[in-house]
Every structure is written in structure tokens, then in C-alpha cells.
DNA sequence: GTATCCAAGGTTTTT
DNA sequence: CCTTGGATAC
């Protein structure tokens, strides 16, 4: 039996209000996520089938965590609850309804690079000068329109006109590749749900109770998806905080949460006001900062966790010193607080900042993990191997095919490829069909035709092997690496042996990952692994989460909490980020300093008891030294909350100083917090 | 068709 | 700084 004693009154109200639309709009750390987990538990305890419950969160990590928490509450009965991200849900939908969407079974999810390449290709085709129109910008706008399910106006000039011209071609191109992009994962399901009555009816009965976490970060397309799925029952419970809306740049629409009751008629709104996470000093810092934003939903937050320790601000002379100082500080704090490593987190604005920190932390033998930003699947050799897998899985994937048809070199040159492409376009036959039957392509030497057939045979062999029910993906993938002879291909250009070894290791890692994926999901095919790759690029790190210090961007930290938080690079240029602060190239998004402020708000409110801001007077960039000054946001946090006077003088690291500084706060905390509970 | 050299540009944030 | 890809020579 689930006990609801661990909820306050408002939380209980939200949990028990199972029917009809409910919005929980409340500040950071007020227990919104806990409402969702308990709500799932409550529904199941009331006899609702776990299979009828859908809870959506923003990241795979969050979805996974939610599953763990619900299982803790009610045990394995929760296992069949649908917990996923919007994109994973969209994918699932399309894997079932692919035919209606004009796709074939094993469609591919195009990664960003390939999306961009498609845009460049199409722009060239219809005679746009890629110097005059930045393809990145065009692609960004295209994505923006899709995320709002809007059509750009073809009669407009300039960028919008260009996007309007390219959009339909881009769509057609993707369908020809039997591929979708991220936005399609939402847009196509919405389109089907809204236009195909049978599909709409079927799916709107599928999930009887739906919950959405971090609702402030949903976009218009996601709102439409939600509406379509909830059409028959309106049982939607959304929780979020407009002050934590940090994805405006990719189409998130704060209006979704602020006008929830207009989108879902008869919605009741519940506010949560007690913060269970942070000390009052931390809370006050965050509240004061966010007060500088207008047009927000005013919220009051209070905490029973005492005043707590003062915040700290440390300004180093350069990035190395900053990183070293943090590493040392973590070491002494670990001793002093008898803390576990996983109580520490280092947050930064951009992934690039992780490098220095990583070095410093590793030097002190501190166990750590870096969440996100991993470029593993962006490395050339990995992308090449994945391109092979993609083509094997989905022969329509011409992008992958072109990437690998002559890598490693097998004598199929640009001219040959051009001839095949021309013929393919002329006769509207997929590229790969012509490789199966090169005699259909005019002007090729017979020896070239032989080469093409050889390539086709090779690929077909692997395709068949991957299709077998008992296929051992890991072994097949290693065979592929061998047969293709990547070793030789990279050995030729890479004379640095160490680097060559790294590349080969990376390839082997893909094989291992593929093998273990198959072992864990014996029912899944190659297509599932590949889409998992595009949707969850952090999978590997999450596995061994254990007792380690976490490094991540402010964006990735949303929803998490740590006893000790270091918010690093607290300088103009990082926060707000230079690209957001200056007015140049203002086409992607309006200059939005308020979103940067919210980002800091998110960062500050991750801390439970000890919050440290750090910055540096100089930064090394591309080998150049840049002078830096403290972030304007520093001055928006009251001086008196800081240890010292916010001047940045390096706080002492000795045990005695720590002792003196923290003693009172520490005792106070312990009295109040007591034993930790699960959410 | 393939190998090699050099210039340019890259760093916002993520599904 | 380092990587990437495009131009050029073989
Ligand atoms: N009623 C409660 N009693 C005690 N602790 C609670 C209660 N509700 C939530 N908590 C704790 O407060 C912390 C924050 O909760 P939770 O993550 O649900 O907040 P949130 O509103 O989702 O935060 P954020 O806005 O930052 O995502 C967690 O450690 C949670 O265990």
C-alpha cells in the first residue's frame, strides 16, 4: 500500500485529482516531480492498468529516473507504465504507423549533420548561394517552423521565402531516404492523429492518464500531440515552472504553461510553495536573481531548511587555477562533510568548458563523469561505421550510402557516383537499386560495374546476417570492421600509431555497444539500436552512474539536485553567453537575456546546501588569452548572502577555515534534514 | 581516382 | 589550438 504521508497538502491535491486537466505551476524544488511519481503510484493503486499510464519527461535520464522512483514506491507493478520522452513516444508511434506516414519499416532518424547536408544539397539544386544564405540558419529556421507546425510564407522574401521554398523539397528528400528528423518525430504523429480519424481515435484511447514533467519546455507541436492523445478524456497533468524555461531557442513555448487553462478547458491549477531542497540563503539568491525578469508568473517559495551556509564566489587568475581550486575544494569538502562523491556537481554554460575541469579533477584522482557533450558518435570513424550500419539497415539511406560507398577506397569515384545519382534522379529509382543492377546505369566501365556489384554483395551479406533472429550483433559488427578493413583505411592516412589505436578502439566500442544492446533487447533489431543512438547519446555514461562527481551543462542539470554545486565560468561571455548578449545574427532567436537569467536560476536551485560560484580573470581561447569580467548576474545576487564580500578573493581551503565557516550551518542542517527520503 | 597539403573556422544550450 | 574539408598535385 502506498503511503501519501510524504506529500504536503497541495501535492496530495494534485495527486488525487486524477480526472480532467491539472496544472502544477510551482518554483524549483517544490516537489513537482514527486507529484508525478506519486500520481502514477496512486493511479495504479486505484486499479488503473500501468499500461494505460503515460508520463513524459524531457530527457531519457529523467524518464529512467522516474521509472526507478515509481518502482521504489509500488514495486515492479509499475514496470509497464509508459515513461518516455516526447521524441521516444513519437518514434514509437511511427514504428507502428509508419505506413500511413509514407515510410517503410526500418526508417532512419537523420542526425543533425545529415539534415544540414540535405539542406545544403537542396539549396545548391535550386540555385541558392550558400554564402549568401547560411545553410545553418536556414536549417535552424526550418526546424523552428516544424516545431511550431507552421508553414513559412512563400510570398515573403529573404530568409522566410528561402525556407518556404526549401521546406517541401526537404520533406520530400527525407521521405525518399526513408528517413525522418527530430522534428518529424513529433510533427508526423500530430499530422496523422489530426487528419486520420481512425488513427486519432485509436491513439486517443491508448493512454488514459497522461503526465508531463518540465512542461515549460514543451513546444507547440508537443502541445498538439498532447491534445490529440488526450482528446477523449482530457486527463492531462502537467507540472512545470516558467522560471525554468530554458529551451526557448529550440522552440519551447512558455505560453504552453502560462495558458494551460486555455488549451485544456476546465483545468485546475495547483501551486506548491514549500521548497524541500535548498537552504534559505540559496533560495533567496535564486529568488532575488529571477526578480529581474518581468513577465513571469509570480511565485513565493520558502524553505524549512534553515539559513544554511553562505554562498561563495571565487575568482581565479586563469581557467587552470579555477579548475584546480575546485578540485582541491571538492577534496577538502569531501573530507569535511564526509560526503560521497555523487553529492558534488560542477555546472557550466558550454560543453567546451569541461575539458580543463576534467584535467584538474583527474589529476586529483577524483572519480567523475561528464554528462552530455560527448562527441563520441561525432567522431569520423564512428560515423563511418554507423553509416555502414545505417545503410545495411535502410538501403534507402542514400546519405549513408554515399558516405561509405568509397570509404575505404574501393575504386568507386566521384564520377561514378555522379552518374548513378543522375540516373537515379532521372528515372526516379532509388540509388541503391542501381547498385544492385549497375547495368542500368549508362556510361560505366564494366570493371566499375563489377566493383559496384561486389559492394552490393558485401552489404547484402551483412544485411542478411543482421536480420537473423539469433544474430550476434557484436560479432557481426566486428566482422564488418574486419571485412571492410578499416584498419588499413585509417592506417594509410593516420601515421600516428596512438591515434590509429584510438580510432580502432572506438570502432570496437561501437561493436561492443551494439552487442550488449542486442543482449539486453533480444527482440530489437538494428533499426532500434540506430534510433536509440540518435535519441539517447548519453546512454553509456548513465550505466555506471555510481559514486562520482558529475560535470554537466546548466541545461542538463535541470531537474537534478546536489548537496554541493559549483557553478563555474561565472563571467560575461559565458553567462550570459556572448552569442546571446550581442545583437549580431539575431535571426535564430530574439536576443534573450531573460532566458540566460533563468538558466542561472536553474543552476542556483540545483544546490541543496552549499553553493559556490567561480570565475576567472582570463580565458584561453584558440591559444589566445582573453580578459574576462564577472557576470552581470553576480551583482543581481545580494552581497550579504556571500562569504566575504563577493569580491572573489579565494576562500581559504584549510580544514580550520572550513570548520569555522560551516559549523553552525552544518549543525542546523543536520537537525532538520534528518534521514533522506525517496521521492 | 587517390594522396597530400594548407587555410579556415570553430564553441551555446539538446531531443 | 586543433580539426576538417577543399583544392591541388600525383
Ligand atoms: N512533501 C515533501 N516532503 C519532503 N521532501 C519532499 C517533498 N516533496 C518533494 N521533496 C523533496 O524535495 C526535492 C525536490 O523535489 P522535486 O525534484 O520533486 O522538485 P521539483 O519541483 O520537480 O524541482 P525542479 O523544479 O527543480 O525540477 C527532492 O529531494 C524531493 O525528494
Q: Are residues A79 and A198 in the same domain?
A: yes
Q: Which A residues 13-42 have CB within 7 Å of strand B? A: none
Distances in Å between the Cα of A666 and the Cα atoms of A248, A285, A309, A641, A654 are 38, 19, 8, 16, 17
Kindly determine whether the C-beta of residue A625 is less than 7 Å away from any atom of nucleic acid strand B: no
Q: Are residues A499 and A521 in the same domain?
A: yes
**A25 bridge partner residues:** A240
Q: Is A213 a catalytic residue?
A: yes
Look at residue A196 and tell me if it is in a domain. Answer: yes
Measuring from atom 7 of ligand 1, which residue has the nearest CA? A31
Distances in Å between the Cα of A252 and the Cα atoms of A181, A213, A221 are 17, 14, 9
Is A28 touching ligand 1 by the criterion CB < 6 Å?
Answer: yes
Nearest Cα neighbor of A658 from A361, A332, A346, A366 is A332
Q: Is A661 a catalytic residue?
A: no
Kindly calculate the radius of gyration of chain A based on its CA atoms and give it in whole angstroms: 27
Is A598 touching ligand 1 by the criterion CB < 6 Å?
Answer: no
Positions of chain B reached by protein Cβ under 7 A: 1-4, 9-15
Kindly determine whether the C-beta of residue A623 is less than 7 Å away from any atom of nucleic acid strand C: yes
Number of structural domains found in chain A: 4
Ligand 1, from A7, A15, A31: best to mutate by most atoms within 8 Å of Cβ?
A31
Nearest Cα neighbor of A285 from A673, A602, A657, A653 is A602
Q: What is the pLDDT of residues A397-439, one digit of tens each?
A: 988 888 888 888 888 888 888 888 888 888 999 999 999 999 8
Q: Which nucleotide is nearest to A383 if distance is taken from CA to C1'? A: C4
Q: Any idea how long chain A is?
A: 679
Is A559 touching ligand 1 by the criterion CB < 6 Å?
Answer: yes
Q: Bin A560: left if φ > 0, else alpha if -120 < ψ < 50, else beta.
A: beta
Ligand 1, from A34, A37, A302: best to mutate by most atoms within 8 Å of Cβ?
A34
Q: Are residues A418 and A479 in the same domain?
A: yes
pLDDT value at position A417? Answer: 85
Q: Is A214 a catalytic residue?
A: yes
Ligand 1 center–CA A531 separation, angstroms: 32
Q: For ligand 1, what atom is nearest to the CA of residue A213? A: 22
Active-site pick, A65, A183, A184, A213: A213
Which residues does A327 contact at the CB level (< 8 Å), separation at least 6?
A357, A360, A361, A363, A364, A366
Q: For ligand 1, what atom is nearest to the CA of residue A241? A: 25
Q: Are residues A195 and A237 in the same domain?
A: yes
Look at residue A306 and tell me if it is in a domain. Answer: no
Which contacts of A386-390 are long-range, i.e. CB under 8 A and separated by 24 or more positions? Answer: A386/A510, A386/A530, A386/A533, A388/A462, A388/A480, A388/A484, A389/A477, A389/A514, A389/A526, A389/A529, A389/A530, A390/A108, A390/A530
CA-CA distance, A602 to A286, in Å (whole number)? 8
Nearest Cα neighbor of A148 from A265, A55, A22, A248 is A248
Look at residue A113 and tell me if it is in a domain. Answer: yes
Q: Are residues A207 and A173 in the same domain?
A: no
CATH number for the domain including A59?
3.40.50.300
**Residue A575 · residue A600 · CB < 8 Å:** yes
Show the low-confidence residues of chain A (pLDDT under 50).
Answer: 583-590, 654-656, 673-679
What is residue A153's DSSP assignment? Answer: P
Look at residue A43 and tell me if it is in a domain. Answer: yes
pTM, rounded to two decimals: 0.88
Across the beta sheet with A607-616, the strand order is A312-316, A607-616, A562-567, A344-348, A549-553, A368-370
Active-site pick, A503, A518, A606, A617: A606
Q: Which nucleotide is nearest to A623 if distance is taken from CA to C1'? A: C1
Look at residue A606 and tell me if it is in a domain. Answer: yes
Look at residue A665 and tell me if it is in a domain. Answer: no
Kindly determine whether the C-beta of residue A621 is less than 7 Å away from any atom of nucleic acid strand C: no
Domain end among A498, A519, A539? A539
CATH number for the domain including A157?
1.10.10
Q: Are residues A519 and A423 in the same domain?
A: yes
CA-CA distance, A25 to A22, in Å (whole number)? 10
**A74 bridge partner residues:** none
Domain end among A177, A209, A236? A177
Domain end among A274, A303, A334? A274
Is A276 touching ligand 1 by the criterion CB < 6 Å?
Answer: yes
Q: Are residues A38 and A18 in the same domain?
A: yes
Is A123 touching ligand 1 by the criterion CB < 6 Å?
Answer: no
Look at residue A127 and tell me if it is in a domain. Answer: yes
pLDDT value at position A580? Answer: 65
**Residue A23 · residue A260 · CB < 8 Å:** yes
Kindly determine whether the C-beta of residue A415 is less than 7 Å away from any atom of nucleic acid strand B: yes
For the record, the C-alpha cell of A327 comes out as: 578540485
Q: For ligand 1, what atom is nearest to the CA of residue A605? A: 26
Q: Which nucleotide is nearest to A492 if distance is taken from CA to C1'? A: B3
CA-CA distance, A285 to A485, in Å (whole number)? 58
pLDDT value at position A590? Answer: 46
Kindly determine whether the C-beta of residue A325 is less than 7 Å away from any atom of nucleic acid strand B: no
CA-CA distance, A679 to A676, in Å (whole number)? 9
Domain that holds residue A131: 108-177
For the record, the C-alpha cell of A244 comes out as: 525554468
pLDDT value at position A183? Answer: 93
Is A171 touching ligand 1 by the criterion CB < 6 Å?
Answer: no
Q: Are residues A462 and A425 in the same domain?
A: yes
CB atoms near residue A24 (< 10 Å): 32
Q: Is A33 a catalytic residue?
A: yes
Q: Which A residues 354-413 have CB within 7 Å of strand C? A: 379-380
Measuring from atom 18 of ligand 1, which residue has the nearest CA? A31
Q: Are residues A56 and A205 in the same domain?
A: yes
Instruction: Give the residue carrying C-alpha cell 590509429.
Output: A500
Q: For ligand 1, what atom is nearest to the CA of residue A677? A: 31
Write down the ipTM of this complex.
0.89
pLDDT value at position A63? Answer: 87
Q: Which A residues 252-281 have CB within 7 Å of strand B? A: none
Ligand 1 center–CA A557 separation, angstroms: 15
Q: Are residues A477 and A501 in the same domain?
A: yes
Q: Which nucleotide is nearest to A444 if distance is taken from CA to C1'? A: B1
Give, in Å, how far the C1' of C4 lies from the CA of A525. 33
**Residue A272 · residue A24 · CB < 8 Å:** yes
Look at residue A1 and tell me if it is in a domain. Answer: no
Q: Are residues A393 and A488 in the same domain?
A: yes
Q: Are residues A163 and A245 in the same domain?
A: no
pLDDT value at position A157? Answer: 72
For the record, the C-alpha cell of A132 comes out as: 549568401
Active-site pick, A111, A114, A181, A214: A214
Amino acid at each position: 500500500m502506498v503511503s501519501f504521508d510524504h506529500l504536503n497538502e497541495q501535492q496530495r491535491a494534485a495527486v488525487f485529482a486524477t480526472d480532467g486537466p491539472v496544472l502544477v505551476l510551482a518554483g524549483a524544488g517544490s516537489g513537482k516531480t514527486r507529484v508525478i511519481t506519486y500520481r502514477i503510484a496512486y493511479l495504479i493503486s486505484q486499479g488503473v492498468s500501468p499500461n494505460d499510464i503515460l508520463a513524459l519527461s524531457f530527457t531519457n535520464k529523467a524518464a529512467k529516473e522516474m521509472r526507478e522512483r515509481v518502482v521504489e514506491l509500488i514495486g515492479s507493478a509499475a514496470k509497464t507504465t509508459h515513461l518516455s520522452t516526447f521524441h521516444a513516444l513519437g518514434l514509437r508511434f511511427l514504428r507502428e504507423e509508419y505506413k500511413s506516414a509514407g515510410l517503410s519499416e526500418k526508417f532512419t532518424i537523420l542526425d543533425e549533420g545529415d539534415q544540414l547536408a540535405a539542406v545544403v544539397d537542396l539549396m545548391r539544386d535550386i540555385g541558392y548561394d550558400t554564402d549568401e544564405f547560411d545553410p545553418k540558419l536556414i536549417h535552424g529556421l526550418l526546424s523552428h517552423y516544424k516545431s511550431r507546425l507552421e508553414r513559412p510564407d512563400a510570398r515573403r522574401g529573404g530568409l522566410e521565402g528561402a525556407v518556404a521554398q526549401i521546406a517541401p523539397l526537404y520533406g520530400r528528400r527525407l521521405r525518399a531516404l526513408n528517413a525522418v528528423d527530430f522534428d518529424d518525430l513529433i510533427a508526423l504523429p500530430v499530422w496523422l492523429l489530426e487528419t486520420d480519424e481512425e488513427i486519432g481515435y485509436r491513439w486517443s484511447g491508448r493512454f488514459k492518464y497522461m503526465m508531463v514533467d518540465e512542461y515549460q519546455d514543451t513546444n507547440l507541436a508537443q502541445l498538439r500531440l498532447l491534445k490529440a492523445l488526450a482528446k477523449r478524456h482530457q486527463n492531462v497533468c502537467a507540472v512545470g515552472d516558467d522560471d525554468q524555461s530554458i529551451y526557448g531557442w529550440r522552440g519551447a513555448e512558455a505560453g504552453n504553461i502560462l495558458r494551460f487553462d486555455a488549451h485544456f478547458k476546465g483545468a485546475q491549477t495547483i501551486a506548491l510553495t514549500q521548497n524541500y531542497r535548498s537552504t534559505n540563503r540559496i533560495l533567496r539568491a535564486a529568488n532575488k536573481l529571477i526578480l529581474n525578469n518581468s513577465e513571469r508568473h509570480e511565485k513565493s517559495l520558502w524553505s524549512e531548511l534553515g539559513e544554511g551556509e553562505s554562498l561563495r564566489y571565487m575568482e581565479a587568475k586563469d581557467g587552470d587555477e579555477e579548475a584546480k581550486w575546485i578540485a582541491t575544494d571538492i577534496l577538502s569538502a569531501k573530507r569535511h562533510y564526509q560526503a560521497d562523491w555523487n553529492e558534488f556537481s560542477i555546472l557550466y554554460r558550454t560543453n567546451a568548458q569541461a575539458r580543463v575541469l576534467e584535467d584538474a579533477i583527474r589529476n586529483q584522482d577524483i572519480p567523475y563523469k561528464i554528462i552530455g557533450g560527448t562527441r563520441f558518435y561525432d567522431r569520423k570513424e564512428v560515423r563511418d561505421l554507423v553509416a555502414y550500419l545505417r545503410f545495411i539497415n535502410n538501403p534507402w539511406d542514400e546519405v549513408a550510402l554515399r558516405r561509405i560507398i568509397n570509404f575505404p577506397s574501393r575504386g568507386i569515384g566521384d564520377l561514378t557516383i555522379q552518374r548513378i545519382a543522375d540516373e537515379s534522379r532521372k528515372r526516379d529509382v532509388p540509388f541503391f537499386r542501381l547498385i544492385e543492377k549497375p547495368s542500368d546505369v549508362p556510361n560505366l566501365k564494366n570493371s566499375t560495374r563489377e566493383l559496384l556489384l561486389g559492394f552490393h554483395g558485401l552489404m547484402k551479406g551483412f544485411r542478411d546476417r543482421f536480420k537473423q533472429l539469433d544474430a550476434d550483433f557484436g560479432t557481426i559488427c566486428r566482422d564488418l570492421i574486419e571485412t571492410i578493413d578499416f584498419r588499413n583505411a585509417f592506417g594509410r592516412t593516420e601515421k600516428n600509431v596512438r591515434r590509429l589505436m584510438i580510432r580502432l578502439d572506438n570502432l570496437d566500442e561501437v561493436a561492443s555497444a551494439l552487442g550488449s544492446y542486442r543482449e539486453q533487447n533480444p527482440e530489437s533489431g538494428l533499426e532500434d539500436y540506430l534510433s536509440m543512438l540518435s535519441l539517447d547519446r548519453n546512454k553509456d555514461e548513465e550505466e555506471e552512474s555510481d559514486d562520482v562527481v558529475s560535470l554537466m551543462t546548466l541545461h542538463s542539470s535541470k531537474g537534478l539536485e546536489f548537496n554541493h554545486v559549483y557553478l563555474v565560468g561565472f563571467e560575461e561571455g559565458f553567462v550570459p553567453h556572448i552569442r546571446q548578449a550581442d545583437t549580431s545574427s539575431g535571426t535564430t532567436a530574439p536576443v534573450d537575456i531573460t532566458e540566460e537569467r533563468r538558466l542561472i536560476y536553474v543552476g542556483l536551485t540545483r544546490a541543496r546546501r552549499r553553493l559556490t560560484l567561480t570565475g576567472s580573470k582570463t580565458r584561453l581561447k584558440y591559444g589566445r588569452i582573453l580578459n574576462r569580467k564577472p557576470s552581470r548576474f553576480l551583482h543581481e545576487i545580494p552581497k550579504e548572502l556571500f562569504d566575504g564580500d563577493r569580491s572573489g578573493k579565494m576562500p581559504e581551503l584549510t580544514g580550520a577555515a572550513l570548520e569555522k565557516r560551516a559549523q553552525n550551518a552544518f549543525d542546523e542542517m543536520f537537525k532538520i534534514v534528518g534521514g533522506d527520503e525517496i521521492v
